[in-house]
Amino acid sequence: MKHHSLLLALLGVYACSADYDPASYVDRRCGEDLSNLWLDVVAVVDNSQGMTNPGLINVASDIYSVFSSGTRIGSNSSEPRTTRVGLVTYNSNATQKADLNKYQSIDDVLNEIYDDISTVVNTADSYLATGLQLAEKMLIDQSENTNRAHYKRVVIVYASEYKGEGELDPLNVANRLKLSDINIITVAYEQKGDDGLFHDLSQIASPGFSFVNNASDTGNLVTNVQNALLQSNCFCPSDWIQYRTSYSDPASSRYGVCLQAVNIPSNWLGAKMSCSHRWIKSNLATEFNQAKHDFILSVAKITDGFAPPYQYHIGLNYASGSWVWAQPTGLQQVPLQQPLMWLSGYPQLASDKSAVMNQQSGLGTGWQNIATMTGNYNYFCETYSCDTDNYCFAQN
């Protein structure tokens, strides 16, 4: 399905505390500050006999450890960068052990979660679908009449078994959650002889978010889950596409950079002005490396209004005697460095051709300098992602 460029409405930005410097000539990373994590999370824990009591104690410890790196737990009217944590157990049925408002501090988690999931029940039945369904209901119902509708939602599954068909097929429920923009992290607590659990859970997990509990390496599991939460908390405003290391691999690492393909032709100056008004700290797109250059072309190929031969404005321009990349208002433009992706015969004399567009050549594109006020083409805008360094609201 082609991506449609729509007008954005900015509701507000709380803070952007990152020390990112575009002059580094690398693209912005996602925020990595766990103390500023802002999510709604439901832990879904298998408490059937297959998990065992020691296994449940390990799960409780894992959950506490994941959020004990300074993450603000609960809600705070004066600090929006908080994370609510709910808890569901499941076996043949699911039970809500903690709604999203029960834990109001990390101490609440420490003092209560071990009691909430300390003992397995007297059944071997383990139907993950029931736990996912209850988590889905909690995330919907307990976000009503709150100011957290724009918060990303995550389900963390701790499972010892994978079973169920028809209405109890967890894959059907998981797909519905993911279509609702709810990320799913899975942790396999494999029983002896059940080497297929990780593979089965990988089918319901969001790309790259499936892990295995390893008793000899619990610190790595906690770090993996924390990184998945940070990735979940790194997202783009509505109708922007997040830049990642591989366009073809949705599980590849994301950057803290959002791109928007605009299919309303304009000259370069008009495109620059348009981009600067589409979001906070937005501007015409940069191409610091070949990978991003290729990623932008891949987006153009699936965007309505873009067609061969591909032609679109980017942020490169000639100013004060050198080629530089446009930056948001208040920031210094960034001098051009290697790699250079000029088409053969370019750049031409910059005195009357001080702007740059991408022009298709063969299967790829290259840079071609043009006049700033003639030639109407599509264009690409760029802005920072919403993440732990950049709290923001976003809607169509």
pLDDT at 145: 85
Q: What is the largest CA-CA distance in the chain?
A: 80
Q: Which amino acid is at 93?
A: N
Q: What is the pLDDT of residue 11?
A: 38
Angstrom distance (rounded) from CA 372 to CA 259 = 22
* Other residues' Cβ atoms within 10 Å of the Cβ of residue 74: 17
pLDDT of residue 18: 57
On the 0-12 / 13-18 / 19+ scale of CB atoms within 10 A, 78 is exposed
Is 4's pLDDT higher than 70? no
The whole-angstrom distance between residue 283's C-alpha and the CA centroid of its chain comes to: 21
pLDDT one-digit tens code per residue, 55-72: 999 999 999 999 999 999
Write the pLDDT tens digit of every residue in 318-340.
Answer: 999 999 999 998 899 999 999 99
CATH code of the domain occupying 13-31+236-392: 3.10.100.10
Average confidence (pLDDT) over 261-274: 98
Q: What is the pLDDT of residue 8?
A: 32
Percent of the chain with pLDDT over 70: 92
pLDDT at 12 over 90: no
* pLDDT for the residue numbered 46: 98
Lowest mean pLDDT among 18-22, 85-89, 264-268, 291-295: 18-22
Contact predicate 262/279, CB 8 Å: no
* Fold (CATH) for 34-232: Rossmann fold (3.40.50)
Q: Over the range 127-139, which residues count as b (16 or more CB within 10 Å of their CB) and which as e? A: bbbbbbbbbbebb
Q: What Cα–Cα distance (Å) separates residue 141 from each residue in 128, 149, 232, 367?
A: 20, 11, 21, 50
Mean pLDDT along residues 224-252: 95
Going from N- to C-terminal start, the domains of the chain cover: 13-31+236-392, 34-232
pLDDT classification of 17: cutoffs 50, 70, 90: very low
- pLDDT of amino acid 393: 78
pLDDT digits (tens, 9 = 90+) for 164-186: 888 899 999 999 999 999 999 99
Residue 346, sorted as left (phi over 0), alpha (psi -120 to 50) or beta, turns out to be beta
